[in-house]
Structure 1
Amino acid sequence: MDTIAQSKANVPEAEGLPRKITAGGTAYHEVGIGEPLVLIHGVGMRLEAWLPQIAAFSGSHRVIAVDMPGHGESRSLPAGSRLEAFVDWFGGFLDEMALDAANVAGHSMGALVAGGAAATFGERIRRVAYLNGVYRRDAEAKAAVLARAAAIPVTGVDKEGPLLRWFGDDAQSATARELTRNWLGLVDPQGYATAYAAFAGGDETYADRWPQVRVPALFLTGSDDPNSTPQMAEQMAAATPRGWVRIVEGHRHMVNLTAPEIVNELLAEWLSCGEDAR
Structure 2
Amino acid sequence: MISKTQQLSNNRIAHYLEQGEGEPLILIHGVGMQAEAWYPQMDFFSKHYCVISVDMPGHGQSSKLADNASLQDFVEWTIEFITVLNLGAVNLAGHSMGSLITTGVSVTRPDLVKRMAVLNGVYRRTAQARQAVIQRAEELKQGHIDVETPLQRWFGESEIERIASAKVKSWLENVDLAGYTTAYSAFAHGDEVYADGWADIRCPALVLTGTDDPNSTVEMTRKMAGQTRHGTAIVIENERHMVNLTAPDQVNQAMQNWLQTQP
Number of equivalent positions: 259
- 1:47 corresponds in structure 2 to 35
Whether contact under 8 Å (1:152, 1:193) holds in the other structure is yes
- 2:151 corresponds in structure 1 to 163
Report the Cα offset of residue 160 of structure 1. 1.1
Match of residue 196, structure 1, among 184, 190, 194: 184
Aligned-pair identity in percent equals 48
State the distance in 2 between where 1:18 and 1:125 align.
23
Q: Deviations over 1:191-229 (max 9, x none)?
A: 000000000000000000001001000000011001011
Whether contact under 8 Å (1:31, 1:62) holds in the other structure is yes
Report the Cα offset of residue 268 of structure 1. 0.1
Q: Which amino acid aligns with 1:98?
A: N
- Structure 1, gaps ≥5 residues long: 1-16
Whether contact under 8 Å (2:123, 2:195) holds in the other structure is yes
Name which of structure 1's ranges 132-141 and 18-27 shifts more when overlaid on structure 2: 18-27
- Structure 2, gaps ≥5 residues long: none
Q: Which runs of 4+ in 1 moved over 4 A?
A: none
- Aligned to 1:155, what secondary structure does the other structure show? coil
Does 1:212 pair with 2:200?
yes
State the Cα RMSD in Å.
1.0
- Aligned to 2:142, what secondary structure does the other structure show? helix
Report the Cα offset of residue 18 of structure 1. 4.7
Whether contact under 8 Å (1:157, 1:192) holds in the other structure is no
Whether contact under 8 Å (1:156, 1:189) holds in the other structure is no
Whether contact under 8 Å (2:2, 2:19) holds in the other structure is no
- Aligned to 1:118, what secondary structure does the other structure show? helix
- Aligned to 1:29, what secondary structure does the other structure show? strand
Q: Which amino acid aligns with 1:21?
A: T
Does 1:97 pair with 2:85?
yes
Does 1:262 pair with 2:246?
no
Q: Which amino acid aligns with 1:49?
A: A
Whether contact under 8 Å (2:14, 2:63) holds in the other structure is yes
Q: Deviations over 1:127-168 (max 9, x none)?
A: 000000100000110010000000102133221121122223
Q: Which amino acid aligns with 2:120?
A: N
Whether contact under 8 Å (2:2, 2:17) holds in the other structure is yes
Name which of structure 1's ranges 18-27 and 88-97 shifts more when overlaid on structure 2: 18-27
- 1:67 corresponds in structure 2 to 55
- 2:7 corresponds in structure 1 to 23
State the distance in 2 between where 1:111 and 1:255 align.
13
- 2:127 corresponds in structure 1 to 139
State the distance in 2 between where 1:150 and 1:110 align.
20
Report the Cα offset of residue 21 of structure 1. 1.1
